Structure formats: structure tokens, C-alpha cells
Structure 1
Amino acid sequence: MKYLDMVNNFFNKVLLFLGGISVLALMLLATGNVVLRIFHLPFRGTYEIVSFLGAVVIAFALGYTQKRRDHIVVDILTDKFPDAVKETIDKVAYIAMTIFFGIVAWQLYVWGMKIMQADEVSETLKIVFHPYIYMTAAGFTILALTTFVQFLKNLFHEED
């Protein structure tokens, strides 16, 4: 369990770092494009690159955000339940999330394979974009791993 938690922490930190680099690249590109528009020399394909980087930023932050429990939680109903019922609901929710995000990651991977085999490229810049789909799949894979680790911690009553 401790090893799995360490692996999860490592991957979340790596993705968080890479996501931070992507945010920086996204900001530099958007800012540079705005500045160059003043001189009527905008970057071509900025919208495409910003879209790809935005998907990577969001996907790479999912696992870390889940680990910190920073997602919005609506607990109006469950707040009134006894602790045993809350724990059971949490266990069921963690398993459901693990399965759901695992399926999302798998389907993103399948979609990336189809895009790669079809040699599809982006519309404006004609760059291959299946790597961005794979990166998004990696983000959802780590999110599924994070929810699974949280399920195990909940099951064995371990703290973060």
C-alpha cells in the first residue's frame, strides 16, 4: 500500500511539473500572439496549440487535484448521515470513479491509436496531434490510480 502511494505521488508530481511547463508555454504563446497582433503579425495556428496545451494542462492536474481533495464536493445530503454510511458512500464513489476514469483513459488511448493509424493532422498547422490525446489519457490514468489509492486508504482507514 505504501509503495502504491509512493508511485502515485511520484506520477502526480511529474504530471504536475509537466502541466506547469504547459501552462507557461500556453501563456507565452497567448501573450506573444496578442503582442504580435498589434503589429499585424499573429502566430499562425495559435488556437490549435492553445487547445492542445489546454487539454494537457487540465488532464495533468486532475490526479494531483483529486489527491488534495480540491475538487468541488456537494455533501448536503451526506453531511447528515452517520460516519459509517459516509464511509460506505465514499468507498462506492471511489470505486465508481476509478472504473469511470479508467474507461475514459482506455477510450482516449483507443482514440489516439485510431488518429495515429489514420495519420490525421491538425487543420491549420498540419501537426500530428495523437501525442496530445495520449497525454490526456495519461492524465486520466493517473486520476484513476489516485482514486484507487484513495479507495484503499479509505478501506484500510489510513490517513493521507
Structure 2
Amino acid sequence: MFMSFLINFEKLVGFLNSISSKVSATLLFLMMILTFSDVTGRFLWRPVTGTYELTYLWLALIVFLSLGYTQQKKGHISVGVFIDKLSVRAQAVVDGITYIIILVLLVLMAWQTYSYANQVSSSVTGDLKLPVSIFVLVCAVGILFYALTVIVDFLKAVRKVVHPNES
């Protein structure tokens, strides 16, 4: 029962991370086109209005929306000089403790990001008059996707503690 829940939950989180990483990649591509157009526009006709605003807003979205996918692919930096020498069960215990700490921090980050979005609900950007709170809320969603991925990893670590010989 636990295994079927874990597999289904992992598929759901993987699907959410896949969507958010594709949105992030699309924004990166659009940011590249926008920056190229702005730079060439300075020499040919005139620069693109709002490039600076869109660049910093999209960059925040790119970072936050790709965190969960990076965690899912184990792309974050980790140093395991001492941990690698422990048994599988001991490594899983250390991983579980680490995931709990990360999860607490991510919940606090998501809460504060949501709170900040409420504070800036009436703020808009300078040139394009885009509402800042929407971008901040999407960043909070990215943090939540990251937290869901950490929950999946935590559950896998618990499984390794209980059954260290299973893959």
C-alpha cells in the first residue's frame, strides 16, 4: 500500500515538475530572444521597451520553477565525503533528517513568499505596468513543487531505513 502511494505520488510530482521545467525552459528561450532583440534594436531602430523588467521577472520564475525538477534529477550540489562511507540505512537516516530540515525551510519560504505577494498586491512594474504579485505567487508555486519533490525523497529515505536491501 505504501509503495503504490509512493509510486503514484512520485508520478504526480514528476508530472508537475515536468510542466514547470518546460515553462522555465520556454521563459529562458523567450528571454534570450528578447535580449537579442533589445541589443540589436539599439543599433537598428530602438530598444525593446520593458526588456529589463521582463528579464528580471522571468529570471526569478526560471529559478523557482526549475528547483523541483533539479531536485528530482539530483542536480543540486552535494558533498558526501563522510556520508558515502556509512551503511545504506545510516545514509538514509541522514538523508531523512536533511529532507526534514529542507522541508521546514521550504514551507517557511513558501509562506513568506505568499505573504510578500499579498504585501505587493497593488504594485506594478515601471514600464509595462505588470502586477508584481502574480510573479511572486508563481515563485511560491515553484517553492511548493520543490517541497513536494523533497517529500518524495523523504518517503524514499524512510523506505530505505525500513527496508535497506530494496532498491
Same fold (TM over 0.5): yes
Identity, in percent, stands at 27
Distance 1:6 1:45 in 2: 38
Instruction: Give 1:103 deviation, angstroms.
Output: 1.4
**2:75 paired residue among 47, 70, 78:** 70
TM-score, normalised via structure 1 length = 0.91
8 A contact 2:113–2:137 mirrored in 1? yes
Structure 2, unpaired ranges of 5+: 1-5, 161-165
Instruction: Give 1:40 deviation, angstroms.
Output: 5.0
8 A contact 2:102–2:150 mirrored in 1? yes
Spell out, residue by residue over 1:14-49, the C-alpha distance to the aligned partner (whole angstroms, 9 max, x if none). 101111111111111111101101125111221111
**1:155 paired residue among 153, 158, 166:** 158
**2:92 paired residue among 87, 93, 105:** 87
Instruction: Give 1:6 deviation, angstroms.
Output: 1.5
Q: Does 1:104 align with 2:109?
A: yes
Distance 1:81 1:156 in 2: 17
Larger displacement relative to structure 2 (144-153 or 1-10) = 1-10
Counterpart position of 2:163: none
Distance 1:53 1:153 in 2: 33
Q: Does 1:34 align with 2:27?
A: no
C-alpha change, 1:82 and 1:156, in structure 2 (3 Å) is closer
Alignment: residue pair count: 157
8 A contact 2:93–2:158 mirrored in 1? no
Counterpart position of 1:127: 130
**2:65 paired residue among 60, 68, 75:** 60
Distance 2:104 2:13 in 1: 17
Q: Does 1:46 align with 2:46?
A: no
**1:136 paired residue among 117, 136, 139:** 139
Instruction: Give 1:112 deviation, angstroms.
Output: 0.7
TM-score, normalised via structure 2 length = 0.87
Distance 1:20 1:136 in 2: 15
Distance 1:30 1:8 in 2: 32
- 3-state SS, counterpart of residue 56 of structure 1: helix
Distance 1:145 1:9 in 2: 10
Distance 2:152 2:87 in 1: 24
Distance 2:139 2:150 in 1: 17
Distance 1:8 1:95 in 2: 18
